[in-house]
Amino acid sequence: MTAVEPMPRIGVLGTGAYVPDRIVTNAEVAAPAGVDDAWIRRKTTIRERRWADSDQATSDLAAEAGRMALAAAGITAADLSTIVVATSTPDRPQPPTAAYVQQLLGANAAAFDINAVCSGFVFASAVAHPLVRASGGYGLVIGADVYSRILDPRDRKTVVLFGDGAGAVVLGPVSGGGIRECRLHTFGQMSELISVPAGGSRLPSSPHTHAAGLQHFTMDGRGVREFVETTLPELVKQFLYDCNVSPHEIGHVVPHQANGVMLDDTIPELGLHTAHVHRTVGEYGNTGAASIPITLDRAAAGGALRTGDLILLIGFGGGMSVGLALIEWSS
């Protein structure tokens, strides 16, 4: 009987990130929202964020991050078999933003989008992982959002939080380590906590919806905080238990950069007291699906990640959704 070769391990071969040049200070967003810099820092720890120029779309940011990840991995776009873009602010309702990214990169890969809002990057990685493993090739996973286009400048609950950006990883065969496990959760009964009410088949855009401001991103901040604080700790602890990993074995935590104060309150409840928690929220704000890969890239580029380190990615966002990934660093 012919021996069956084991499927290759798939890990992160390279990371990349891109944020727009335009720096938006707290002072700029504070006045229309009726707050000030001190209020924003006290409520969020955010100092500034980046917003895209008028001629930049989500695909432009995504492609830039993708190019950087490809260069870091030492491969070209021609080597890719799969491109997955996680975004809830696509260039257009259709075609998928990933199709534009494929074109911008000059790739010849299957390309599609995933929308799990701020958990999107982990969801996209979980979907891309088996595809790359089966193909034996390389995959490009990108989280990218341009939230500045859907914010109400008068809504202090949202406009002070969000920035624009993109982060990417190249997935491919590794000799050791790699993505150990992913787990995805959706709590549809809480889907109204975060939404953009108009623009879909339920409520198409019209002069009426525009006049009512229904094209803007809305969030029940109190409800989101309660969901995160009550749901996330148990999900993380159960995930690590099922992975047969003790909390003290986790070297790094890369959480969604939702709000600095929320992270301050929630991270200690996860029981990961010896892990280094990586943060970019103060500099870039909440960049949606881009926040985890941007933060992972900053950690990798800064030399913080070493071969064999265990990294826990924690995504949470609209849906409500939670995505968890355990990675053994392999580059």
Q: What is the C-alpha separation between 247 and 98, in angstroms, rounded?
A: 36
What angle in degrees, to the nearest 10, is found between the helix axes of 291-301 and 120-135? 70
Instruction: Tell me which of 118, 129, 216, 278 is the catalytic residue.
Output: 118
Any residues with CB less than 8 A from the CB of 316 and at least 6 apart, and which? Answer: 118, 119, 227, 228, 232, 256, 258, 322, 323
Give yes or no for a contact between 85 and 114, defined as CB atoms under 8 angstroms apart: yes
State phi, psi for 26 to the nearest 5 degrees.
Answer: -60, -35
Task: Name the CA dihedral angle for 98, 178, 246, 317, rounded to a multiple of 10 degrees.
Answer: 0
Instruction: Tell me which of 216, 256, 259, 278 is the catalytic residue.
Output: 256
Give yes or no for a contact between 182 and 325, defined as CB atoms under 8 angstroms apart: yes
- Computed over its alpha carbons, how large is the radius of gyration of the chain? 19
Residue 118 annotated in active site: yes
Q: What is the C-alpha separation between 179 and 176, in angstroms, rounded?
A: 10
Residue 286 annotated in active site: yes
The CA–CA distances, whole Å, from 282 to 153, 251, 274 equal 20, 22, 22
Give yes or no for a contact between 254 and 311, defined as CB atoms under 8 angstroms apart: yes
State phi, psi for 103 to the nearest 5 degrees.
Answer: -65, -45
Q: What is the C-alpha separation between 172 and 61, in angstroms, rounded?
A: 22
Residue 243 annotated in active site: no
Q: What is the C-alpha separation between 206 and 8, in angstroms, rounded?
A: 50
In DSSP notation, 256-310 reads: --S-HHHHHHHGGGGT-TTSEEP--HHHH-B-GGGHHHHHHHHHHHTT---TT-E
Instruction: Tell me which of 26, 115, 259, 286 is the catalytic residue.
Output: 286
Q: Which residues sit opposite 325 in a β-bridge? A: 182, 313
Catalytic residue list: 118, 256, 286
